[in-house]
Amino acid sequence: MSIEISKGIQLSAFDVEMLNLGKLIAIPFKQFVSEGQIFWLYPSQQIPFGLTVEQYYQLNYLPLAQNPFNSLTSIQIQTWGKCEYHWHIHPNKRHLLPKIAQSTIWNLSALEHIFEQNQVLKLLFLRVYQLSEPCILNAPPPPGSFFWSQPEDRIIAASEKDEPIVSESSFRQRKALIMDGEAYPNTSLESLQFQLSSLEVGHPVAKQLNHELKQLLGWNSHHKTVLTAPEWINKIAALGNRSKEEDEGKSSYQAGTDFEIVVRQSLEFLGFKVDYTHRGGAGGIDIFCSEPYPLVGECKSGKKIPNDTAVQLLNLGTLRLENKEAFSKAAKLIIGPGELTDQLKKAAKVHGMAILNPATLEKLVKVHHQYPIDLFKLRDYLVDGQADDEVIRYINQHLQKIQLRAFIVQLVKDFLESSLDADADISQLHAIYVFRKPAQPLKREEMYEILVELSSPLTAYLGRRKGNDGSDRFYFLRDMKK
């Protein structure tokens, strides 16, 4: 069902950008707005209250704050907002200004300047909703606080189905933090994210980390960059199964080299540091990884894994690591799809070597692409001899762990969106968990540990208000995909 919007409000372009991301949920706005009013959010090239960009924004935001004003070529409206509250900060609450500045993007001096003009600072709390496609204005509106669209403008109807940038429970929690004068907990992560934004172009690692930080912060959930899996991920098993007969015009050596390359890519993707200075070939070991722990390996594509593979790995691995003790402590891996002879199975067990099918490696890499695995835990499942069943067992346990945590995150979200509270304690959440009769029963203490894990800065699916003697309270920040 469409929603009728009669007018819009003009805000600084960078303020609108931060509202659209989810970084901001409130902005200074001096004109009267009543609760429940809805508006188009227009990115103006003006800075409010007679301030300059340098005066208005904090120093670490300036490089990005200047971009919207320099590159605003088309007149588009991408979101609309609903007034949840127009907060008037009077002199008796002036002590909150430093905390507001700390939790937002504006200079404290700018907020004090605005306050001094009328002995009040008016913060407009907005629930922001993403349009299905942007509205296009024919010409910029005259300067002012509000604007009205013209007949020639291309206006997209707002809809009740438009999704909010920030969830209801997360919005309430963040609003409470600002109004209570409490420090925002993710300031350091936000600072790192903004630094990475300036490095993103031409730096794939910075781009991926920037994307992951935005996910942690719960920003812009509707238009995140989707990090598609590299094409080679779907070819790991196929390259392992190739042989001279199956590759017309390609020798078995070339097919084997292709397989070695994709195995190295796989291990690097999983988080190993691969040494490329000592590759396979005559006298060379196929795989050597130095971090997070030493790993040596041999790749054998085709339908057979030779009996002497274990001996070959033993000899070349010892030479590469330069002594037997270092080799004995390293993880040892043979990767190939061929059938195993009894002789190879025995040799692998004697020398502590895990044998893995390329199909298992492919499955492991695909799971890691969605839910990063723990390489130290994985090592416990690289058992001597045929290790496929154990690695598959680890993958299944890892997926069950993810599903359990996604279930708990959804439970917190659902509970808070159906209640009037901004957060919930462990007693409430555990009672709801038990009531839903999940597949995996949890004791109260076990659920509490998971809630703390999900609210850590490195995961940030939930927020946490620390209390005394286990009286912590938790609130929703962002969804976790199952």
* Last-in-domain residue among 167, 197, 226: 226
Smallest Cα–Cα separation from 341: which of 352, 327, 355, 351?
A: 355
Return the structure tokens found at 127.
Answer: 């629930």
Smallest Cα–Cα separation from 432: which of 377, 480, 474, 479?
A: 474
Higher pLDDT, 121 or 479: 121
Query: Are 248 and 218 within one domain?
Result: no
The mean-pLDDT minimum among 111-115, 172-176, 215-219 falls in 215-219
Query: Are 80 and 199 within one domain?
Result: no
Query: Are 269 and 176 within one domain?
Result: no
Query: Are 12 and 84 within one domain?
Result: yes
Residue with tokens 């993880």: 331
Task: Say if 277 falls within a structural domain.
Answer: yes
Return the structure tokens found at 125.
Answer: 């709390």
* Last-in-domain residue among 328, 353, 386: 386
Task: Say if 409 falls within a structural domain.
Answer: yes
Please say if the pLDDT value at position 479 is more than 70. yes
Distance CA 382, CA 391 (A): 7
The mean-pLDDT minimum among 187-196, 241-250, 336-345 falls in 241-250
The pLDDT of residue 146: 87
Helix (H, G, I), strand (E, B) or coil at 122: strand
Smallest Cα–Cα separation from 336: which of 252, 223, 451?
A: 252
Query: Which residues, including other chains, have CB under 8 Å from residue 109's CB and lie 6 or more apart?
Result: 55
Structural domain boundaries enclosing 411: 398-476
Query: Are 170 and 259 within one domain?
Result: no
Q: What average pLDDT does range 145-153 have in this prediction? A: 82
Task: Say if 349 falls within a structural domain.
Answer: yes
331 φ, ψ to 5°?
A: -75, 140
Query: Are 108 and 191 within one domain?
Result: no
> Can you name the residues that pair with 88 across neighbouring β-strands?
122
Q: What average pLDDT does range 361-373 have in this prediction? A: 88
Query: Which residues, including other chains, have CB under 8 Å from residue 423's CB and lie 6 or more apart?
Result: 173, 416, 463, 465, 473, 474, 475
Greatest Cα-to-Cα distance within the chain, rounded to the nearest angstrom: 87
Buried b (16+ CB within 10 A) or exposed e, 245-273: eeeeeeeeeebbbbbbebbbbbbebbebe
Task: Say if 391 falls within a structural domain.
Answer: no
Residue with tokens 């942007």: 134
Task: Say if 481 falls within a structural domain.
Answer: no
- Looking at 272-350, which runs of residues are DSSP E strands? 273-274, 287-291, 295-299, 331-335
Distance CA 403, CA 78 (A): 34
Distance CA 349, CA 192 (A): 47
Higher pLDDT, 442 or 274: 442
Query: Are 144 and 178 within one domain?
Result: yes
Query: Are 372 and 448 within one domain?
Result: no
Query: Are 167 and 208 within one domain?
Result: no
Q: What is the CATH number of the domain that holds 403?
A: 1.10.10
The pLDDT of residue 73: 47
Other CB atoms within 10 A of residue 179 CB = 17
DSSP string, 21-48: HTS-SEEE--S---TT-EEEEEEESPPG
pLDDT band of residue 244 (cuts 50, 70, 90) is very low
The model's pLDDT over 56-85, given as tens digits with 9 standing for 90+, comes to 999 888 877 876 554 444 578 889 999 999
Please say if the pLDDT value at position 222 is more than 50. no
pLDDT band of residue 198 (cuts 50, 70, 90) is low
* Last-in-domain residue among 207, 226, 245: 226
Please say if the pLDDT value at position 200 is more than 60. no
Distance CA 461, CA 475 (A): 9
N-terminal to C-terminal alpha carbon distance within the chain: 30
The pLDDT of residue 259: 83
Q: What is the mean pLDDT of the chain?
A: 81
Handedness of CA 124, 127, 128, 132 (dihedral sign): negative
Task: Say if 97 falls within a structural domain.
Answer: yes
Query: Are 298 and 238 within one domain?
Result: yes
Q: What average pLDDT does range 326-331 have in this prediction? A: 78
Query: Are 146 and 34 within one domain?
Result: yes
> Can you name the residues that pair with 295 across neighbouring β-strands?
289, 331
The pLDDT of residue 320: 67
pLDDT band of residue 245 (cuts 50, 70, 90) is very low
Task: Say if 482 falls within a structural domain.
Answer: no
113 φ, ψ to 5°?
A: -60, -45
8 A C-beta contact, residue 298 and residue 334: yes
Q: What total of structural domains would you count in the chain?
A: 4
Task: Say if 393 falls within a structural domain.
Answer: no
Query: Are 117 and 30 within one domain?
Result: yes
Q: What average pLDDT does range 334-363 have in this prediction? A: 84
Please say if the pLDDT value at position 30 is more than 60. yes
